């Protein structure tokens, strides 16, 4: 799939105010500072579609971007150590949970994980929650250019080991880098295949 157009549609914190179109949606979510905005910009060939920041927790709303006029890329707030107050964090969690539980247009979630780190409890618990709630998801390992191939393989294997303790099989995963465009084609082709199958 080639992305010919990507436009920002709406930001909000209420699922009821999300677009009413019944177009397929793909939600991108991960811990703060996982490289989500950079990945979205890389996928859409735009420098500033999603706002990048050195400060974790920049995305604080549900952001809808219309891609090729036929599907939505949804940028969700990061979870984790964003420098926001506890009460704000609770609000985030509430509307993220609401989004996943109520959004019928959601086809698949992509959980972003920084491949440089050992498996983090906050990530595996979130994946567990998605599984329990029967929300289809895949894992995107980001920042692959920062690791040597063997280290990358080792870290991904550790994730799979932990997931296989409670799962029958691991969700599909993609290895990406917004610096060298790694994984871009695979990810977009995967989305395109799903879009074709649900027409």
175, 182 Cβ separation under 8 angstroms: yes
Pairwise pLDDT comparison (87 vs 181), residue with the higher score: 181
Mean pLDDT throughout 78-93? Answer: 61
Check residue 190 and give its pLDDT: 97
Residues 6+ apart with CB under 8 A from 67: 3, 5, 6, 44, 73
Give the domain ranges of the chain.
Answer: 6-197
192 in Cβ contact with 26 (< 8 Å)? no
pLDDT digits (tens, 9 = 90+) for 116-162: 998 888 899 889 889 989 999 999 999 999 999 999 999 999 999 99
Under a CB-based contact definition with an 8 Å cutoff, are residues 72 and 24 in contact?
Answer: yes
What per-residue confidence (pLDDT) applies to 55? 47
Read off the pLDDT of residues 34-71 as tens digits, 9 standing for 90 and up. Answer: 999 999 999 999 888 887 544 444 457 889 999 999 99
- pLDDT for residue 95: 78
Q: Name the pTM for this structure.
A: 0.91
Between the alpha carbon of residue 40 and those of residues 20, 63, 85, 160, 188, the distances in Å are 22, 12, 26, 25, 11
CB atoms within 10 A of CB 185: 11
Instruction: Report the CATH fold assignment for 6-197.
Output: Rossmann fold (3.40.50)
pLDDT confidence tier of residue 85, bands split at 50, 70 and 90:
low
**Distance separating alpha carbons of residues 28 and 50, to the nearest angstrom:** 12
């Amino acid at each position: 799939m080639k992305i010919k157009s990507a436009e920002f549609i709406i930001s909000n914190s209420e699922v009821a105010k999300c677009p009413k179109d019944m177009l397929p949606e793909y939600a991108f979510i991960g811990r703060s500072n996982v490289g989500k905005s950079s990945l979205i910009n890389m996928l859409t060939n735009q420098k500033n579609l999603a706002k990048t920041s050195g400060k974790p927790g920049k995305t604080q709303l549900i952001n809808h971007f219309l891609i090729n006029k036929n599907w939505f890329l949804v940028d969700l707030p990061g979870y984790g150590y964003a420098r926001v107050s506890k009460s704000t964090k609770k609000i985030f969690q509430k509307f993220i949970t609401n989004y996943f539980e109520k959004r019928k247009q959601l086809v698949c979630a992509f959980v972003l994980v920084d491949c440089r780190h050992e498996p983090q409890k906050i990530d595996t618990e979130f994946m567990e929650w998605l599984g329990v709630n029967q929300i289809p998801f895949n894992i995107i390992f980001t920042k692959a250019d920062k690791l040597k191939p063997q280290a990358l393989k080792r870290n991904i294997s550790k994730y799979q080991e932990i997931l296989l303790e409670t799962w029958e099989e691991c969700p599909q995963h993609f290895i990406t880098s917004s610096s060298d465009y790694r994984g871009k084609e695979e990810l977009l082709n995967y989305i395109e295949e799903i879009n074709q199958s649900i027409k």
